[in-house]
Amino acid sequence: MPRISKLLKMVLLVWIAVVIVAAFLYAPPDKALGQAGRVIIFHVPVAWVTVLAFMVSCVHSVLYLRRRRPQDDLKASSAASLGLVFAILATVTGSMFARITWGSFWNWDPRETSILILLLIYAAYHALRMAIEDEERRGRLSAVYAIVAAVTVPFLVFVVPRVYFSLHPDIITPTGGLDMGPRTLQVFLASLAGFTGLFAWLFQLTVRTGAMSLAAERRSAS
Amino acid sequence: MNAILVDQVTAVYVVLAVSSAIFGGIFAFVWRLSRRARLPAKARAMALGAQLLMWAAVAVLAVTGVVGSVDTVLILSLGALLADWLIVFSCLWRLDKASKA
């Protein structure tokens, strides 16, 4: 492992450990939500990684259509897989939070409904990939699908929950600022950075192991 | 409108449950990747065992409600989550090394 890469991973280890400590001991309880307000420090970065992963998938899909390199297709599908995992985590953790604030796990709130639609859209992406055997055709069709799917992401994540009345707490104020105290804001931003770093590492590993299993498949086929 | 329907100790347990679910989900994904990378079965079993024990500890804590003070639950949650993160990190580290070999 090159020294710089090793160092970055050790930084990530310490960074997320510090975020965890700060989330419980440094950030004060929320004025309205009390101790449960700490959920934001973990739940929102997960939702952020979901959006980031789907955007990365879109970028690599565009690159695939331009260059037709299998690595781009692998990167696009790896990012979409990670996005789906993080979307599931955001939905599950969001519904746990809904239980203690709204009294039930699922309320068909615009935020819940839009993340569910997003989950279905990207589940369909993987279903599509599994349905096509020819590598080149699979890459081309799923790249087009991923680009179209990515267009829906900003609407479903940022627009729909703000257009319709939602019970979901919004951390973004009407003036564009973040509605949280200075200490919570520091920990929240550190958490966003930490989860972004974690995504970068997970993405690298998903691509690498994907390449390994592809190579193994080709070896056994020949 | 949002209002907390539970007491503050339960609210901390919910934060622990949410964050533990996040690290657990990431662990499950990494564990799947480690199968793909053909990591030794013993290493994978040990990691899974550690993660399951961690969840069992969290569940026992939350279900029995043996701890009643907010400060103590905060410290316990912090410890549990740090252990969870260490399990995830060690899995990532092993996988990183194995996938480069």
User: Within an 8 Å CB–CB cutoff, is residue B59 touching chain A?
Assistant: no
| Chain A hits for B26, Cβ within 8 Å | 85, 89, 198, 202
Interval A10-50: pLDDT, tens: 999 999 999 999 999 999 998 878 888 899 999 999 999 99
Q: Does the residue A4 lie in any domain?
A: no
Interval A100-113: pLDDT, tens: 888 889 888 888 88
Question: Given this model, what pLDDT does residue B40 score?
Answer: 80
User: Within an 8 Å CB–CB cutoff, is residue B6 touching chain A?
Assistant: yes
A interface test, pick of B26, B87, B93 with most A CB neighbours within 10 Å? B26
d(CA B21, CA B40): 25
d(CA A80, CA A180): 31
d(CA A121, CA A46): 18
Q: Does the residue A56 lie in any domain?
A: yes
Q: Does the residue A16 lie in any domain?
A: no
B34 within 8 A of B91, measured Cβ to Cβ: yes
CB contact under 8 A, B85 and A198: no
Q: Does the residue A12 lie in any domain?
A: no
Q: Does the residue A24 lie in any domain?
A: no
* Closest chain A residue to B74, measured at CA: A24
A141 within 8 A of A132, measured Cβ to Cβ: yes
| Chain B hits for A20, Cβ within 8 Å | 19, 78, 81-82, 85
Average pLDDT over residues B20-32: 93
Residue A186 tokens read as: 């520091």
Q: Does the residue A26 lie in any domain?
A: no
Reported ipTM: the value is: 0.89
CB contact under 8 A, A36 and B11: yes
CA dihedral sign, ordered B38, B41, B43, B44: positive
B72 alpha carbon, distance to own chain's centre? 19
- Enter the DSSP assignment of A178: B
d(CA A142, CA A75): 12
pLDDT for B2 beyond 60 = no
Which range of residues forms the domain containing residue A117?
Answer: 31-221
How big is the A-B interface in CB pairs under 8 Å?
125
Q: Does the residue A5 lie in any domain?
A: no
Residue A100's nearest CA partner among B93, B5, B45 is B5
d(CA B68, CA B8): 10
A5: number of Cβ within 10 Å: 13
CB contact under 8 A, B25 and A88: yes
Q: How many domains does chain A have?
A: 1
DSSP helix/strand/coil, A34: strand
**Could you identify the residue written with the tokens 């985590």?**
A89
User: Within an 8 Å CB–CB cutoff, is residue B11 touching chain A?
Assistant: yes
Interval B37-89: pLDDT, tens: 777 888 888 888 888 888 888 888 777 766 678 888 888 889 989 999 999 99
